[in-house]
Amino acid sequence: MSRIAARFDKLRKEGRKALIPFFTAGDPDRASCVPLMHALVAGGADVIELGVPFSDPMADGPVIQRSSERALLHGVSLHDVINWVAEFRKTDNETPVVLMGYANPVESMGLEAFAKVAKAAGVDGALVVDYPPEEAETLVGTLDRAGLDTVFLISPTTSDARLKQVAALGRGYLYYVSLKGVTGAANIDIADVSRRLEHIRTYTRLPVGVGFGIRDGKTAHAIAQVADAVVIGSRLVQEIEAAPADAAVKVRAFMADIRTAMDASKKK
Amino acid sequence: MRVYDLPDAKGHFGPYGGVFVSETLISALEDLKAAYARFKDDPTFKAEFAYELKHYVGRPSPIYHARRWSEHFGGAQVYLKREDLNHTGAHKINNVIGQALLARHLGKPRVIAETGAGQHGVAAATIAARYGMECVVYMGSEDVKRQAQNVYRMKLLGATVVPVESGSKTLKDALNEAMRDWVTNVEDTFYIIGTVAGPHPYPMMVRDFQSVIGLEAREQMPEMTGRQPDAVLACVGGGSNAIGIFHPYIEYENVRLIGVEAAGHGLETGKHSATLCAGRSGVLHGNRTYLLQDDNGQIIETHSISAGLDYPGVGPEHAWLKDIGRAEYVAVTDDEALEAFHKLCRLEGIIPALESSHALAYAAKLAPHMRKDQILLVNLSGRGDKDMHTVAEKSGLKF
């Protein structure tokens, strides 16, 4: 069983929901990536979505754009990010790591080469933001053969026909983007998310995570009532941006708050 | 050549094109695709488009025989397709009218656009004024500084110009920002992309609107010269003026199609925008195409004296035409383009845009080696009024 499946399995048995933080590898600096990953786990993270910086992050709002720019100033490449996962694996062989980023760095490395080195480093899956299912068959095939999960996004505007497609191609878990717009946008409508998740679950048995617009323990708690996983990106990256020298301590504390709020919603 | 009918239903030109966007944009693109499919052959829509092109833009644009310039070469006869005479001074308006009409039919009161040099932004602001639409133009903050006059022009026309501070603060970042606006405001907003790039259906749709250039030329050339030209030349940044004149000629196998990119300071210096000559395949701005990128797949900053060619990608159909050998792509330097710029001013009394001057510069290389009865047709895609500052500075002058 993959690390991702094993983790969701374990959580299900415990009646808990997954907490999935996102941050950009190499922000605020190169040395901080692996310590930040460990800090997130210590704070209660179940899966880490590790952002691969890209020069043109078209789907991201200003917070994640800036984090990507900071990482690129340090010359962070996809190779670096994969090497950091290998480093992380030396002391953590259980927490799943999903690389999240854009198509071009992956295509530049070559899909086969990417799958091979990522698997060898202990990466568990990839979410390539600008590979919708229509363009992702080769990626999914390649990652499948390497034993890596391809994670897909679903949005409020995803049609039923495409939900079917996503359900057929998606591996590991699905990521429901709860708002229109870019990452880091404003408020989340819990009732609406709940209705959408119910609908999505008629198409798939994969766990469904919810992200975009989750900013604090209160929203995380509410989302944990209806989703299998809570994804937090921009809000976490803000913590790193606000206190770069102190980032590991800050993100650990921030994660722990969210974790506590989520677990307070544990099913009886 | 076999019938050329690309792109396929999913927007692919061979391995290029496609829809490489986040899930959040998919439904907007599907709606756009459906709308375009509904209207493109609709008689009312076509009549409106034709009316605007004739009465507002001033089409058909004439073809002009550059006799003195041709004599100067002593070789091929050079003809110019005069897109510079269009309202707003360039070919950009053709496409903008098509998309704005579509926006109107879809009931979207707000249009957005990205711009580099400002020509597409000015065209979008113009048509928004004409149709009473709200218009927001995204422009890299570096370009805002370099193109102050066009920024003012857009404001005069009632548009809001938003300086983009992210990334390299140029055209590609303006495009990223416009996409972000669109995904957030898709209900009331139509995104007017200025070139044949972006996700499907944009490369196809923009090409179709710009094809009026080549369709006219295909009629005009035999009327003027008794035959089609031996070669058609156009500058290529994103490639909309080039695809506009190339596309109707693709099945005319005896007509060479030559796209001219910006070699900037020279291809060997790395300071250029010659994507097809020096780039490799990748994914940016919603499509797979040739890109200027580093070894890690990060997009690199480009250079050209002409802001309109200063883009690290290129339309996916050009990538395909290059790979199948139907079109040739070459590059000329800033200096070569400037020389052609000055020659055309002095010999023909026409001030060309610096973008178009790249195509002229390559015609100047070819013509002397050709026979006097051979014909080159150059797409003079825009006029050079906007470039006075740049050219004067290059000559050591300041206004």
List pLDDT tens digits, range B215-234.
999 999 999 999 999 999 99
Per-residue confidence (pLDDT) for residue A56, from 0 to 100: 96
Asked if residue A127 belongs to a domain, the reply is yes
Of A56, A62, A154, the CB nearest to B172: A56
Cis, peptide link before residue B201, omega less than 30° from 0: yes
Per-residue confidence (pLDDT) for residue A208, from 0 to 100: 98
User: Is A78 an interface residue toward B (CB < 8 Å)?
Assistant: yes
Exposure string for A62-93, b = 16+ CB within 10 A, e = fewer: ebbbbbbbbbbebebbbebbbbbbeebbeeee
Q: What is the DSSP string of B184-216?
A: HSTTTEEEE--SS-SSTTHHHHHHHHHTHHHHH
Cis, peptide link before residue B7, omega less than 30° from 0: yes
Q: Is the pLDDT of residue A268 over 60?
A: no
Per-residue confidence (pLDDT) for residue A182, from 0 to 100: 65
Per-residue confidence (pLDDT) for residue A188, from 0 to 100: 75
Q: Within its chain, how far is the Cα of A101 from the centroid?
A: 10
Give the mean pLDDT of B256-273.
Answer: 98
A88: CATH: 3.20.20.70
Whether A29 is a known active-site residue: answer no
Give the mean pLDDT of B311-333.
Answer: 98
Asked if residue A217 belongs to a domain, the reply is yes
Our count of domains for chain A comes to: 1
Per-residue confidence (pLDDT) for residue B94, from 0 to 100: 98
pTM of the shown model: 0.96
Q: Is the pLDDT of residue A68 over 60?
A: yes
Give the mean pLDDT of A100-121.
Answer: 98
The residues that bridge with B264 in the sheet, in sequence order, are B333
Per-residue confidence (pLDDT) for residue B398, from 0 to 100: 80
B238-248 pLDDT tens trace: 999 999 999 99
| Cα–Cα distance, B271 to B274 (Å, whole number) | 9
The torsion angle over the Cα atoms of residues B253, B255, B256 and B262, rounded to 10 degrees, is -130
B319-328 pLDDT tens trace: 999 999 999 9
- Which residues from chain B sit within 8 angstroms of residue A58, using beta carbons? 21-22, 176, 179-180, 285-286
Q: What whole-number percentage of chain A has pLDDT above 90?
A: 90
Asked if residue A180 belongs to a domain, the reply is yes
Give the mean pLDDT of B118-130.
Answer: 97
- Which residues from chain A sit within 8 angstroms of residue B312, using beta carbons? none
Q: What are phi and psi of B258, to 5 degrees?
A: -125, 115
User: Is A54 an interface residue toward B (CB < 8 Å)?
Assistant: yes
Nearest CA to B204 out of B31, B37, B382, B2 is that of B37
Asked if residue A220 belongs to a domain, the reply is yes
Give the mean pLDDT of B305-325.
Answer: 96
Residue B30 host element (H or E): helix B23-39
Q: Do B22 and A130 touch (CB under 8 A)?
A: yes
Q: Is the pLDDT of residue B4 over 80?
A: yes
A18-54 pLDDT tens trace: 999 999 999 999 999 999 999 999 999 999 999 999 9
Q: Within its chain, how far is the Cα of A7 from the centroid?
A: 14
- Helices A78-89 and A111-121 cross at an angle (nearest 10°) of 20
Q: Do B297 and A58 touch (CB under 8 A)?
A: no
Q: Do B297 and A65 touch (CB under 8 A)?
A: no
Residue B218 host element (H or E): helix B212-225
User: Is A192 an interface residue toward B (CB < 8 Å)?
Assistant: no
Helices (H), B106-211: 119-131, 141-146, 148-156, 171-184, 202-210
Instruction: Locate B259 and state its tokens.
Output: 């796209």
Per-residue confidence (pLDDT) for residue A183, from 0 to 100: 64
Q: Is the pLDDT of residue A181 over 70?
A: no
Q: Do B180 and A61 touch (CB under 8 A)?
A: yes
Q: Do B26 and A158 touch (CB under 8 A)?
A: yes
Give the mean pLDDT of A168-180.
Answer: 91
Mean pLDDT across chain A, nearest whole number? 94
Domain extent at residue A131: 3-263
- Helices B202-210 and B212-225 cross at an angle (nearest 10°) of 30
Is the torsion defined by CA of A40, A41, A45, A48 positive or negative?
Answer: positive
Catalytic residue among A60, A124, A228, A239: A60
Asked if residue A257 belongs to a domain, the reply is yes
Asked if residue A90 belongs to a domain, the reply is yes
Asked if residue A100 belongs to a domain, the reply is yes
Q: Is the pLDDT of residue B139 over 50?
A: yes
The torsion angle over the Cα atoms of residues B268, B270, B275 and B277, rounded to 10 degrees, is 10
Q: Do A58 and B298 touch (CB under 8 A)?
A: no
Q: Would you call A56 helix, strand, or coil by DSSP?
A: coil
Asked if residue A268 belongs to a domain, the reply is no
Of A107, A181, A185, the CB nearest to B282: A107
